[in-house]
Structure 1
Amino acid sequence: MSDAGRTTDFASIGAAVIGTGFIGTVHVQALRRLGVQVRGVLGSSAERGAARAAQIGVAHAYTDLDELLADPSVDVVHVTSPNHAHYAQVKAILGAGKHVICEKPLAMTSTESAEMVEIARASGKVAAVCYNIRFYPLNQQAHGMVAAGELGEIRFVTGHYHQDWLAKPTDWNWRLQSEMGGALRSVGDIGTHWIDLTSFITGLKAEAVMAELATFLPERQRPTGPVETFSSAAGTTEPVTVDTDDAAMIVLRYEGGARGVMSTSQINTGRKNSLQWDIAGAKASAAWDSETPDHLFLGHRDAPNQMLMRDFTLMNAQGTAAASLPPGHVEGFADSFFNFFRAVYADVHAGARQPASTWATFEDGHYEMQLCDAVLISAREGRWARLDENPGKGRT
């Protein structure tokens, strides 16, 4: 039975959210829609947490992580803090016997993520990585089509993830700081979304990569005060040298012989949030763009091409299970979180991940971190880098 088809008492489950910025707020809103009880939030400081809790209507703001973990009414903790905090926070959450949903990327290095995988396995708790883009219904549809052999053997996977929110020297966010976001920025932030999504749809994993990284804005103006994601800075600034990638070009060699090409960019003017993939199989092809999420292109050689609109009367079981709105009522970014959380919380209610579940595991998050390490090795040494190389080499 699909996640959406299982009867679940979501109101009996309590959750807390670490992080009160843009994504933390998205998590809170989706949980409320689902009916999960949001017990409280934890901000970067007690003062900021309390102020933000009041703004978004959450009754309680925890003063620190220890207080949150001691709350017996919290069953699941959502981690939406900066990347450098994920490792320690997730370990503490699982150690406290609570389920966890961690924003991507899972960790700063594959060494950290490998340990997190083992801790999650030993805990027996549900441990998910927030690759919400899997849960646009037509991505689930495409996953089902590939699994059913409708595209044939996968040969070539291409696409990009492009944004423009860091296109100006005055644009600033904590992700620009490698000590907080990691050595990779556009690749780690949005590139891992593309890697996870295309691997989920095709069932393919990369075995090696060839990569080039580019920093088009090596100096930026950092505000002296905090800046929320996707918002404009205000007030005084100071010049700061940037050592993370504005954009990247990556060639992928998959196990079994398929090939892939993808690019990432956070400086492509006019591209607000465009994740595109195009998957070419021996029988047919399919393509999708996150800026037009309710349409799936289906390409044929000996028949007319098709455009499938998200419509549960026409979709396969996987696509239908992820859909929450009627045909013609566009399901967008916020809906993907709702669909994702609905699937994860159904498994929380069941006590463990179920065989038919399609959300990203810590093993998936570890794979993305291995790929990031390989990208760094390739970019620095100008060669193909395998994912099974020394996991720490790319991070030095």
Structure 2
Amino acid sequence: MTTPRTEAGRNGREAPAPPGQDFLNMQAHLSEEELAVRDKVRSFVRERIKPNINGWFDKAIFPKEIVPEFADLGLLGMHLTGYGCAGRSAVEYGLACMELEAGDSGLRTFVSVQGSLAMSAIHKFGSEEQKQEWLPRMAKGEAIGCFGLTEPTAGSDPASMKTFARREGSDWVLNGQKRWIGLATIADIAVVWARTDEENNPVRGFLVPTDAEGFSARDITPKLSMRASIQCDVTFDDVRLPESAMLPQARGLGGPFACLNEARYGIIWGAMGAARDCFESARDYALSREQFGKPIGSFQLVQQKLVNMLIEIEKGTLLALHIGRMKDEGTLRPEQISLGKLNNVREAIEIAREARTVFGGNGVTLEYPPMRHMANLESVRTYEGTDEVHTLILGNAITGIQSFR
């Protein structure tokens, strides 16, 4: 169990933050271990991602060579315990997501798909044999996973999925299509959710090797968002699987929803990382860009923009921390995750748009990050539940009335 640092420790550890960074001194509420995770990932992003992200985004390249580096940092399945995973707390994982997304949403998404979706599904619902076979390799970055839930006609309504697994002797035969599946063209194993003819809970999860006969995936291109990431269309054409491919502990849609909540949690933090990067770049630009004989940061309207951005970042980051503490305590409810995801992504997009205006015309180039973050956040706003879906989840929690159907 860790405790926050003392005042003397806080004051003696590092120089004062730049103006506007951690304005409310949130780090006073972080332990030494939590700060060490944050600082390690922040340094990695500064040294490895930020110098290269413009080229990766411009050329629509996911840098696969970075996967072992993520593994060396302990980022892959970092909040899972055992099987070579780092066993970090929810808050530590959230801080890592925030720093990664300050670099780029697409690269944070890799960590999320690998750890919060694919590895989490195996860890929560897999057999011991499945865990031993896949989790240590995935934690080391030696195997990549993907998570197949969304379909061309089943996005916000996964209960209407058409992918179907039928019994044939002791095997299962899988047919169907999935869409917007992160990492599928570079993955070694796919966690696939499909309908079956079982009674009561017909949706089951399967581990599908991507080299299985009948499995095919192709990148979705061109994209205007998440260009340094991979999203795919996937087709299953009579993919034959043994009984041992089924995730034995997952029955019904509760299985994939539990994994989605893990990913949504990381987004709550990650969105604030993107927002912070937009704010800091706009503040620095406003202090150096001169018009009418003085820095534009001296003008009231520009200061108002910076202040509004800062307020929402501080509020959203404190919200993320509070939700993370509840997650570590085991008291967090799914609708509370929805509140965090809805608020923080929505505010991050507004911050990115406002930050872009500080740059004027220069803001539409890749020389500055707000418009790249803005484009990426449109995907973040959509995946793991749209604004509308999370609004209705919260509406149901408030009124007790289910309004989806």
Give TM-score, length-normalised by structure 1: 0.25
Considering fraction of residues, name the structure with more helix. Answer: 2
Q: Which has the larger radius of gyration?
A: 2
- Give the number of the structure with larger relative contact order, counting CA–CA contacts within 8 Å between residues 6 or more apart: 1
Give TM-score, length-normalised by structure 2: 0.25
